[in-house]
Structure 1
Amino acid sequence: MIKRMPTHCGDETCSSCVVAGDFIYLAHHAGGFDKQEIAHQMRAAFESIKRTLASVGGTLDDMIQINLYLKNKEDFGGAREVFCEYFNKEYPARMTIITEFLDERCLCQIDGVAYKSHNGSMEALEERISCLEKKLNTIAFGENKEISFNDCRIENMEAGPSCSITCNSTPIGDIGLGNDCTLNFDKCTIGAVLDSDLEDAEERLDDLECRLDDLNSQMDDIDNRKK
């Protein structure tokens, strides 16, 4: 599957990058034209590439090849030093070219290729989804709240002593629950469960459910790319 990202330079005929399978092909990136200084413009170019990679789930660590274009041969040393700021001893392959640019203010440009394994992404997403699902099963309630459950399962429920719980209209009585308790409820009502505020808990659940939906969407997108 091929995915073309929107332009980053105001030219609709130039995608910022193209994702083809596990490979990310990056267009030219430049910037920092406010200063005629090679280190400044190199940093601007790298920051631009970082944003493009992030838009498709990649980072500079995924770069396997970089083409460095310089206007002046004398700037190579200064440009090379900036690589040390963005890579930690593991550098991509590089080719350096001396050339002219359409914008006379431009001292350098960068393009290249990155590799991002979808299998690794899938495993990471599955791990994050599993973590979120576990959090969704951890629910906290405030004092003197009455909550009804219908065919719900609550794991790792934390509550203080003297909790009044009624299931199927049958009072269980005053009980104390610690950590790592597993309870099953079928059309049950729980009253006066002690923990954090109910509204905060509901907001946390809504947020986790939204994040879970986003991750599932990313997994669907990865599956589509692999087809």
Structure 2
Amino acid sequence: MKNMKRILLKLSGEALSGDKGFGFDEATCLEVGRQVKEIVDKGTQVAIVIGGGNFWRGRNSSKIIERTKSDQIGMLGTVMNCIYVSEIFRTLGMTTEVFTPFVCGAFTELFAKDKAMDALSEGKVVFFAGGTGHPYFSTDTGTTLRAVEIEADAILLAKAIDGVYDKDPKVYPDAVKYDEISIQQVVDQRLQVVDLTATIMCLENHMPMVVFGLNEKDSIVETLYGEFNGTYVTVDE
């Protein structure tokens, strides 16, 4: 893997809840923070997007709430996650900034590329909460959008599954894991690495992805500097 000077790390909300499946697991968040601090201390600029699935699953959460409102609830879930994890990171000695695409009073900064780039250059860990700020777009799309805007070297997808497979390994024991796959193959085969909108955005903007298992020991640090055990999703230069 080439030296990555600026990354966007995508974390699932469910991963932050640990074994509880809801809310926050402090030990899990502290472990993520420990690893992020290590890579920041080595000079890598880190931006983070966190899903909201530990609080709300969007359109799957209710049969009666209208989709736009459901998505707005999910956006606020990601804001809570980012504020919480930001504070966990601060206890570990990092400086942070939380950006949202809509005004949240004094809780967050309103996103602007220049402000985010300045924060990264100052060594802050930057959190992008609230998705794109619009319904019908997932945090996957928000992740890709922000990665393109800040000119990240790659998106790091920390998942429950340790890479990209030709089919769901939880359902099919004979599923084959890819060590490397092109973004065009992901599109052609409809492999659900991220949603289709986000995948097409990566394809059009030549944004590579690195998929790995968050629960493996030191997985974030190892993905950048050590033995990588996930899947590279490559793009044509």
* Both structures adopt the same fold (TM-score exceeding 0.5): no
Output the TM-score relative to the length of structure 2.
0.24
Output the TM-score relative to the length of structure 1.
0.24
- Larger Rg computed on CA atoms: 1
Richer in strand (by share)? 1
RCO higher in structure (CA 8 A, sep ≥6): 2
